[in-house]
């Protein structure tokens, strides 16, 4: 199908990753209150990060899930940062499989569909060796997931990473995505921009990445990909820290990507990981996209 003549009615969706400062400032503390809070801001998504471990009960997760249904918010989860499928230590690699499985259990309880993860770190090994280990362990994980029919509608999203030492270039993510129908790319444009010293400036720069994805993983996975979009400070080795949209030094800017979303009719899930202003920056992105879409 010609990507310019699609009849897809799906739209991009927007939301924050984690609690923004304004959520707390307005007197909220519990994620239970998040779906309603986001819906009053016209947002669509919420990403729950397990960060240092999966420490929420299925019961609490399903209660949050009920709120999501009530207020029209879709949840995704970010698996723990400890995952390292490239680890030469068998126990660490094995634990990584466990982190994905426990993330999926809670994702299911939330009623969400997408689990994002960082594949691993290169460590002292050669890149090819570390990536070969990553693929072998990820293949085992996918095999294990396939034995759970209740997870058959869930999507696993390897993320593009911002530091040279991490597994997760665009090509590596494309390769991981081709290991299963349920594996979709999570493109973190702030990471891509950081890894390559600020390459994302024009709409054409974003278009190049989208074209590589169309070629590499096909139309369906590209159109429905997962996106993290934040401005990120970088140095010689890549990512240093997450900023807010108030930054005007490092980028990337959202506007040129919005042009490509509209041009190709993409319907990604776009999460803001800004440092404290995730909800505000998500709302800004949604407005930028909406204004552009209305002109077409
Ligand atoms: Zn991430």
Residues spanned by the domain of 102: 9-294
Name the residue with tokens 């807010």.
244
CA 63 to ligand 1 centroid distance, Å? 25
Per-residue CA distances from 88 to 121, 131, 165, 167 (Å): 10, 11, 15, 14
1 is a domain residue: no
CATH code (residue 44):
3.20.20.150
Closest-CA residue to 141 (of 225, 220, 216, 84): 84
Does residue 3 fall inside a structural domain?
A: no
- Ligand 1 centre distance from Cα of residue 187 (Å): 9
Residue 250 has what pLDDT?
87
Residue 2 is predicted with a pLDDT of 39
CA distance 32 to 61: 9
* Residue range 5-25: mean pLDDT, rounded: 84
Residue 54's nearest CA partner among 30, 75, 34, 80 is 80
The C-alpha atoms of residue 172 and residue 186 are separated, in whole angstroms, by: 12
Domain membership flag for residue 234: yes
Distance in Å, CA 13 to ligand 1 centroid: 18
pLDDT of residue 8: 53
Does residue 2 form part of some domain?
no
Q: Tell how far the Cα of 76 is from the centroid of ligand 1, in angstroms.
A: 12
Please check whether residue 171 lies inside any domain of the structure: yes
Confidence class for position 51, pLDDT limits 50, 70, 90: confident
Three-state DSSP at 47 gives strand
Report how far residue 76's alpha carbon sits from residue 261's, in angstroms, rounded to the nearest whole number.
Answer: 21
Q: Using the predicted structure, report yes or no on whether residue 7 has a pLDDT greater than 60.
A: no
The whole-model pTM stands at 0.94
What per-residue confidence (pLDDT) applies to 276? 93
Give residue 67 CA to ligand 1 midpoint distance, Å.
25
Q: How many A from CA of 199 to the centre of ligand 1?
A: 20
Taking the centre of ligand 1 as the mean of its atom positions, its distance from the CA of residue 98, in whole angstroms, is 18
Does some domain include residue 4? Answer: no
**How many angstroms separate the Cα of 275 from the Cα of each of 17, 47, 242, 272?**
10, 14, 6, 9
| pLDDT for 246 | 85
- What would the mean pLDDT of 33-43 be, rounded to a whole number? 97
Q: Across the chain, what does the average pLDDT equal?
A: 94
Q: How confident is residue 31, by pLDDT bands cut at 50, 70 and 90?
A: very high
Q: What pLDDT, on a 0 to 100 scale, did the predictor assign at position 94?
A: 95
Dist. CA 269–CA 225, nearest whole Å: 7
Mean of pLDDT values over 192-209: 95
With respect to residue 241, please indicate whether it lies within any of the assigned structural domains: yes
Q: Give tens-digit pLDDT for 224-279.
A: 999 999 998 999 899 999 999 988 888 899 999 999 999 999 999 999 999 999 99
| % of the chain residues with pLDDT over 90 | 90
From ligand 1's centre to the CA of 157, what distance in Å? 10
How far is the centre of ligand 1, averaged over its atoms, from the C-alpha of 271 (Å)? 10
Helix (H, G, I), strand (E, B) or coil at 115: strand
Distance 242 CA to ligand 1 centre (A): 11
Distance 30 CA to ligand 1 centre (A): 22
Tell me, yes or no, whether 223 lies in a domain.
yes
| Overall domain count for the chain | 1
């Amino acid at each position: 199908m010609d990507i310019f003549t699609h009849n897809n009615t799906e739209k991009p969706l927007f939301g924050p990753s984690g609690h923004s400062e304004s959520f707390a400032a307005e007197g909220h503390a519990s994620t239970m209150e998040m779906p309603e809070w986001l819906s009053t801001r016209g947002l669509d998504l919420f990403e729950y990060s397990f960060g240092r471990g999966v420490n929420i009960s299925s019961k609490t997760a399903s209660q949050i899930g009920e709120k999501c249904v009530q207020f029209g918010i879709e949840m995704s989860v970010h698996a723990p940062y400890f995952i390292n499928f490239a680890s030469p230590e068998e126990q660490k690699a094995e634990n990584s499989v466990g982190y994905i499985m426990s993330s999926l259990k809670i994702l299911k309880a939330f009623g969400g569909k997408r689990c994002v993860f960082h594949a691993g770190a290169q460590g002292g090994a050669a890149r090819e060796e570390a990536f070969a280990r990553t693929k072998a362990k990820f293949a085992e994980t996918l095999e294990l997931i396939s034995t759970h029919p209740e997870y058959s509608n869930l999507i696993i999203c390897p993320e593009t990473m911002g530091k040279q030492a991490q597994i997760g270039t665009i090509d590596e993510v494309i390769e991981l995505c081709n290991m299963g129908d349920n594996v979709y790319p999570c493109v973190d444009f702030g990471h891509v921009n950081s890894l390559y010293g600020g390459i994302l400036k024009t709409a054409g720069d974003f278009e190049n990445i989208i074209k590589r994805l169309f070629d590499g993983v096909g139309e369906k996975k590209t159109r429905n990909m997962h996106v993290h979009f934040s401005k990120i400070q970088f140095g010689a080795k890549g990512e240093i820290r997450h900023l807010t949209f108030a930054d005007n030094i490092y980028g990337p800017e959202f506007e040129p990507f919005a042009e490509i979303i509209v041009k190709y009719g993409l319907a990604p899930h776009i999460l803001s990981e800004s440092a404290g202003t995730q909800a505000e920056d998500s709302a800004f992105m949604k407005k930028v996209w909406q204004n552009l879409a209305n002109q077409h």
